Chains A and B, each alone.
Chain A
Amino acid sequence: MELENQPLGDMPFDGRAEKGEPASLRRWLWQSYLRAAIVPLLVIELGFLVVFWASSALVYRQNIAAVRAFSGDYLTDVAVREAASAANNLRAISIAADVLSRQTHRALDGNYDPPPAEKARYRWNVDGAFVTVRDNGTTASFYSGAYPIGQEQIRKVWRLAALDPLMADLRDTQPIVSSIYVNTYDSYNRILPYFDVGSQYAPRMDIRKYNFYYDADAAHNPNRKTVWTDAYIDPAGKGWMISCISPVWRNGKLEAVVGLDVTLATLVNRLTNIALPWDAYAMLVDENGRIVAVPRKGETDLRLKELTDHKYTESIKADTFKPDQFDLHNRADTRSLALALQKSASGRVTLQLDSPHQASFATIPGPNWRLVIIAPSREIERSARELRIRLERIAYFMVAALFVFYVLFFAFLYRRAAALSGALAHPLDEIRQLLDRIEHGRHHLGFAGSRVKELDEVGRKLIATGQRLGAAQDLIKQQDRVVRDALERQRQVNEEQRRFIQIMSHEVRTPLAVISSGIHLIGRKAHTLSAEDLARRTDKLRRAVQRISDLLTKMVAYSGLEPASPGASPQAMPFVALVVSISEAAIPAERLRLLAPQTEDECPLTREGATLSIALRVALDNARHYSPPDTAITVAVEPDKAELCVTVIDQGPGLPPEEMAFIGQRYFRGAAASGHAGAGIGIHVARMALERIGGAFELRPTPTGCQVTIRIPREIVAEGNDG
């Protein structure tokens, strides 16, 4: 697989790393936080907002419906109540008119003659009208010149003067009544309060042409009851008004019509004074759908100007009624109201004026008028709308608060991610450093620990792993050293073997060369050699053969130096005697100089006679071979408290400093050994044998040659015990 050859640091740890650059721990945590937090937060909060707005809209609609129902009911109740109140007032006026009609009938039947002071107020004017010219706090009187005025007419004036007290009482008890009057069929008018009728009325005014008279005649009022007129301009100068009129029938003839006037201004004031909520207002509509009275609030909605005042530039000579714009049937925006008024005595309807309006109405019995209360829908719905606005503001505030909350929350999450990434990254980085150190062979590690349990465990296990790896590495190193030492020893052994083979080759080949040369010469000169010459040559051959034989014998003897078998007990021998014996056998007597104790008591016995013999013979052979033939060789036996010593001193070439480190190594032969038979194993074998028993074979140069010291530990020497 390709990854097997890929460096560990380049290997992706998962498939994700292959798709893109790995993210930092802080970014990864932050993104995880975002993914984990933003979705539920948005879903929940947005859902909450949607529910809140939906419920707010539902509540608003229900509030609107409830307010509309409540306002409609309430305004209808108010209309009914105010209509009843108005009906009472109007009925009182109607009763007053009826009373005045009856009293007028009696006055006409009577024979009242006013006092002279009363009569003195009357004058004939130039147009033939008989009028009052002075106010005495009572009525004014006007007898039109349209009819001939005789004594009978004058007596009618005097008789009707009897009504003045009644008229005064009626006016006092009916505060909304602006004037009270009696009109006769022959255009006589008696009216309270007083005003200058001579100048106000047309001199030949025909009263029968005015609605406040003919509305009560037989043609218009066949039932001869008290009736109300439409609004009209008062000829008496009181402006727009309506009248409650009652006929006075006498002997089957309409003798007169009495009336009580109510100005529209009075009605408007009364309507205005009705306390209504929601900026509502009330207006009066007659049974034909014509507006009787409307306050100022209604003028704007209905786009009309109420006719309360009138500027009298001349006398009113005929009926003057309100224009068609006061007729609800003639207006598109009020036609639905007019139809509703026709259909029912009370109820409510929605109007679309400049804006939606609610209209509630009730019937005023008597004149059969309608009291209509109109309220703008926006005022009715104001509280609900304000509630909705407040709820919307709350919603916007909640959105803003949520936004601020999200900002703060995500800032908190960001800081939290940073803190958490730091808490994770620090131990991770520490773990990475641990791995780096382990990778570089440093196994004595430390870990500060982590608040995260898993990371703490990983770090501590890494420490333990590092320690185990360190121990394993130490063991490997130790084993490596052992192996290397073994290899080095093996190399040394190989080198020794190679050197041995070379030496053996040299040591064998040299006498072989002598033998070969001698054989060749003998063969070539056999017929010319003398017996003496032949003996000399064969002696050379024998020496060469002996040399090879000695070499092989020595090799066999040295190679037999093996540890003594367990249980074997060498025989104890006198140390000094053994040294003397070996020395005398190895060194000619003329060269040997022995320095040994004379009594055996001073020298102990030794069981290592064989080792001593090998070592001492090596030392003596070297002394004999490498020192001039005429020089002495000294052998000194020196007892010591701790060990036994024997020293061999020669006067040979000594030991070159450069060879000191190699002397004693197996098969090493110094430069001085050239020309001497030998395999370079003598000193090596001697030293090895002595060291095996705890002794030593020491060489050191002297000013005149070389000194060899052989040391044998005293512990192994058994005093007087021959085993």
Chain B
Amino acid sequence: MAETRPATILCIEDEPDLLEDLLEEIGDEGYIALGATNSRDALALLWSHSVDLVLCDQQLPGPSGLDFLEAAGTGKANPVFVLLTAYSDGPLREKALSLGAARVLVKPVDYDELLSLIRQLLA
């Protein structure tokens, strides 16, 4: 019986303290956690790894989270996309969902709920 590979989750957050906490929480849950502070680094990780789920902040230096979502959609990889944002406006949510995001979460996120959502989305 083949061993199940843990899911790879790419975290994109320009706030280093928050990115560190996210990677720790996800890694503690047994996932392979990859981190990037901007879209360009994130795309490099996305194309170089088999990423199953992307947790992406909307406000990033350079291309935004939605820009990354659009760029990621043109490649072969098709991970589940969860957008994190400190903004709570409706149009951003609608645009993200229309581009293929599975969820849009507003900071601060409860980690128990986030991990539960990740498990649900990767199930």
Q: Name A residues whose Cβ lies closer than 8 Å to a Cβ of B.
A: 502, 505-510, 512-518, 520-521, 524, 540, 543-544, 671-672, 674-675
Contact = CB atoms under 8 A, between A and B. Distances in A.
B21 interface: yes
Interface string B1-29: 00000000000001101100110110010
Given A515-B108, A516-B110, A517-B21, A510 B62 contact: no
B61 A506 contact: no
A513 B25 contact: no
B37 interface: yes
B106 A514 contact: no
Given A506-B87, A540-B17, 8 more contacts: A505-B88, A509-B86, A509-B106, A514-B17, A517-B22, A521-B111, A671-B61, A675-B61
Nearest to B61: A674
A518 B22 CA distance: 10
Interface of A is mostly: helix
A521 to B, nearest CB: 6
Contacts of A520: 21, 25, 110-112
B17 A502 contact: no
A674 B62 contact: yes
A521 B17 contact: no
B78 interface: no
A505 B87 contact: yes
Nearest to B57: A510
Interface in B41-86: 59-62, 85-86
A505 B62 CA distance: 20
A513 B109 contact: yes
B21 A521 contact: yes
B108 A516 contact: yes
A62 B107 CA distance: 134
Interface string B82-115: 0001111100000000000000001111111000
Contacts of A521: 21, 24-25, 111
Contact of A544 (B17, B59, B62, B112): B17
B64 to A, nearest CB: 8
A674 B14 contact: yes
Contacts of B85: 506
* A-B CB proximity, top 10 nearest: A517-B21, A506-B86, A674-B61, A516-B108, A509-B86, A513-B108, A675-B14, A513-B107, A509-B107, A520-B111
A510 B87 contact: no
A516 B14 contact: no
19 contacts: A502-B89, A506-B87, A509-B86, A510-B18, A513-B15, A513-B18, A513-B108, A516-B110, A516-B111, A517-B25, A517-B108, A520-B21, A520-B25, A520-B111, A521-B21, A521-B111, A524-B28, A543-B17, A674-B60
A514 B61 contact: no
A512 B108 contact: yes
A662 to B, nearest CB: 16
B21 A518 contact: yes
A543 B86 CA distance: 18
B86 A675 contact: no
B21 to A, nearest CB: 4
B86 A505 contact: yes
B19 to A, nearest CB: 10
A371 to B, nearest CB: 145
Contact of A671 (B62, B87, B106, B111): B62
A520 B89 CA distance: 26
Contacts of A540: 17
A514 B86 contact: no
A514 B15 CA distance: 9
Nearest to B109: A513
A139 to B, nearest CB: 173
A512 B17 contact: no
Nearest to B87: A502
A672 B38 CA distance: 12
A510 B107 contact: yes
Contacts of B28: 524
B111 A675 contact: no
Contacts of B37: 675
Contacts of B106: 509
Contacts of A516: 108-111
Nearest to B16: A675
A506 B59 contact: yes
Given A506-B59, A521-B24, A513 B86 contact: yes
A544 B20 CA distance: 14
Of B15, B17, B18, most buried by chain A (CB within 10 Å of CB) is B17
Contacts of B21: 514, 517-518, 520-521
Given A505-B88, A509-B106, A512-B107, A517 B59 contact: no
A509 B18 CA distance: 11
Contacts of B60: 674-675
A480 B5 CA distance: 68
A543 B16 CA distance: 12
A44 B86 CA distance: 104
A674 B59 contact: yes
Contacts of B18: 510, 513-514, 517
Nearest to A541: B17
A529 to B, nearest CB: 12
B61 A509 contact: no
A672 B62 CA distance: 7
A99 to B, nearest CB: 170
B71 to A, nearest CB: 16
A513 B21 CA distance: 10
Contacts of B89: 502
A671 B63 CA distance: 8
Nearest to A673: B61
Nearest to A520: B111
Nearest to A540: B17
Contacts of B25: 517, 520-521
A672 B59 CA distance: 11
B82 to A, nearest CB: 14
A518 B17 CA distance: 9
Contacts of A517: 17-18, 21-22, 25, 108, 111
A672 B61 contact: yes
A542 to B, nearest CB: 11
A507 B107 CA distance: 11
A510 B61 contact: no
A674 B67 CA distance: 14
A512 B84 CA distance: 14
